Structure 1
Amino acid sequence: MTPAETAQRLPYARLAAEIRTLLADDSVHVPERIVQPLPGGGSLFVMPAHDSRIAMTKLITFTPSNAGTGRPTIQGDVVVFDIATGERRLVLDGPTVTARRTAAVSLLAAQLLAPNTEGPLLIVGAGAQGRAHLEAFVDGLGVREVMIASRSETSANALADHARGLGLKSCVVADPGAALAQCPLIVTCTPANAVVLRGTPRDDAFIAAVGAFTPGMVELDPALCRHCAEHGLVVVDTPEAIHEAGDLLQAGLDVSAFATLRRVLMDAPAANRRPVLFKSCGWAGWDLAAARLAISA
């Protein structure tokens, strides 16, 4: 499928609902993903998963050096098979699945955990994930105002224009840390090669940090992470974050002590624990949820 055809099958609110359903499905099996380092700093990801009906594998490359070149940093496909017959049912566009399922996971976390969903929304990083999170939070939370920060002024302005095209009030900000005082919803989705967000979040803040998915990557200032752990609530997407959540690991935090998104669904978090930091590292289960939704469309 083309990127547009893949996106059409994966509306954000419905994908978030499918992810919630998947987390309660005991037939889901997700092996550890294979990450093969490549010459030049890139990586090859092989991410299989299955439930009782379908099996899928996401096969993608991640090439950080493509940033700013016009070539995507993530390329590849998601191949979906029928378990009963072994038949290949779908081939979805990998970057589109990655962007939309990541944003849908953040949306689900915000629906479950955010103390204040009215916005404004602060997005740090104006690439594919910034656009996907903007669209997801509009679709699933009804956000009407967004502030955008990016090291690329061109990208920031383009995302702000896209937001206005969706009917939102939008602006570009130079210092995302200064915008924390105005924004209860924050998403960081950068290449994660340096700290991009410093400062103290509001007591009613929800932060989704999605850019750093290896121990060596970082977006959030360690002091910000420690503040959320001490005064609020930290939730990780899956148990695998114990060795992937660069922001938390570099802050010296015990990642194993934090609840996962599945645990949040099973046991309501303490209502007085805020601000909330949701650390997302990625999981083939999210791709399986996308495959389940796409195949039912």
Structure 2
Amino acid sequence: MLVLGRSQVEDLLDMETLIDALAPAMADLSAGRASSPDRVAALVPERDGFLAAMPGFVPSAGVLMSKLVTLFPHNSGTPLPTHQALIMVFDPDTGEPTAMLDGTAITAARTAAGSALSARLLAREGASVLAVLGTGVQARSHAEAMCRVRPITDIRVAGRDLGKAAALADELADLLGVGVRAVPGYAQALDGADIAAATTHAQEPVIRRSWLTPGVHITSVGFNPEGREVDGATVAEALVCVETRQAALAPFPAGSNDLLTPIRDGVITAEHVHAELGELLAGSKPGRTSADQITLYKSVGVAAQDAAAAALVVNAARERSVGSEISLG
């Protein structure tokens, strides 16, 4: 069995290739060809955290896998990431375990790649101004991923701590070679933004309708056990896209408070969720219909995306003879 650590996974996983690889995986999922059941989670209420199991099979990637992932939001600001994971890969013909991967790097990359895929499908072609809300691992990954799909020239970073926002802005400026600056608040970051990437654990919405410019594409990936990232007015006005309706509308913590709360409050109905990524890719649902339309991609994370990423990593490792081999016999 192949064993790969975090630094090896990071070296083997190319963001642009991953964005491309997610498209057939999401098409498989919406067409019913892939198997990606709702995650199950053991809750740790005193830490607002959980341990979840996420199995998946994606025929287009030829991979059967399961991810074990913890989400502990209070790790934010500590040396430990909020998301930590392991992925086990199995032979889809025999069920034999074939690889064990660090899943923390994969989770960070595939989440951002999914958001970038949504921007490729829904953001305006000339979108050049990006607002990054949050200062953690996902904020960094989203900035990198969005620059792969749209001609980003201006990035604004906002978070709860201006010092952390400034540090991330400096890092991204060196990494991406575009203009990046920290701003003191979410409203300032969103003013004039063409794309907004929300990556927070905020209790109160960091995306508010009154702060948005017409035509903005919003991505929201934050886990918010006591709140939400996007206010109801934005959700109500936006064309809403998800990975799958089943995952996004499942009871919390599997689903999203950003959608469940406005449904509970009568602001929208479940039918307001317009499309899945796979439906946009297949052309069975239309995307943006006007330059001023607000679009929203709400992500809760699905195993099909992890499976596509794991397949890329394992294939690259085999080609380059990277990783350790252990025997289970």
Same-fold call, TM cutoff 0.5: yes
The equivalent of 1:162 in structure 2 is 171
Check 1:178–1:284 CA distance in 2 against 1; reply closer, same or farther (3 A cut): same
The 2-side partners of 1:90 and 1:143 are apart by: 37
Pairing 1:87-126 to 2, within 5 Å after superposition: 87-126=96-135
The equivalent of 1:179 in structure 2 is 189
Check 1:178–1:224 CA distance in 2 against 1; reply closer, same or farther (3 A cut): farther
Q: Is the 8 A contact 1:56 1:81 kept in 2?
A: yes
The equivalent of 2:212 in structure 1 is 201
The 2-side partners of 1:71 and 1:63 are apart by: 9
The equivalent of 1:49 in structure 2 is 56
Look up the SS of the partner of 1:193 in the other structure: coil
Q: Which letter does structure 2 place at the counterpart of 1:33?
A: R
Check 1:90–1:213 CA distance in 2 against 1; reply closer, same or farther (3 A cut): farther
The 1-side partners of 2:224 and 2:143 are apart by: 20
Alpha-carbon offset, residue 213 of structure 1: 6.6
- Whether 1:274 aligns to 2:293 is yes
The equivalent of 2:270 in structure 1 is 255
Q: Is the 8 A contact 1:116 1:184 kept in 2?
A: no
Look up the SS of the partner of 1:143 in the other structure: coil
The 1-side partners of 2:167 and 2:187 are apart by: 21
Check 1:9–1:140 CA distance in 2 against 1; reply closer, same or farther (3 A cut): farther
Check 1:177–1:57 CA distance in 2 against 1; reply closer, same or farther (3 A cut): same
The 1-side partners of 2:224 and 2:280 are apart by: 21
Look up the SS of the partner of 1:247 in the other structure: helix
Alpha-carbon RMSD across the aligned residues, in angstroms, is: 2.0
The equivalent of 2:82 in structure 1 is 73
The equivalent of 2:321 in structure 1 is none
- Whether 1:211 aligns to 2:217 is no
Alpha-carbon offset, residue 30 of structure 1: 1.2
Alpha-carbon offset, residue 180 of structure 1: 2.5
The 2-side partners of 1:19 and 1:148 are apart by: 26
Please, which runs of 5 or more residues in structure 2 have no aligned partner? 317-329
Alpha-carbon offset, residue 171 of structure 1: 0.7
The 2-side partners of 1:104 and 1:80 are apart by: 20
- Whether 1:223 aligns to 2:233 is yes
Q: Give per-residue Cα distances to partners, 1:61-94, cap 9 Å, x unaligned.
A: 1112222222221122111111234343322222
The 2-side partners of 1:122 and 1:69 are apart by: 24
Identity %: 33
The equivalent of 2:306 in structure 1 is 287
The equivalent of 1:37 in structure 2 is 43
TM-score normalised according to structure 1 size: 0.91
The 1-side partners of 2:306 and 2:205 are apart by: 28
The 1-side partners of 2:27 and 2:72 are apart by: 34
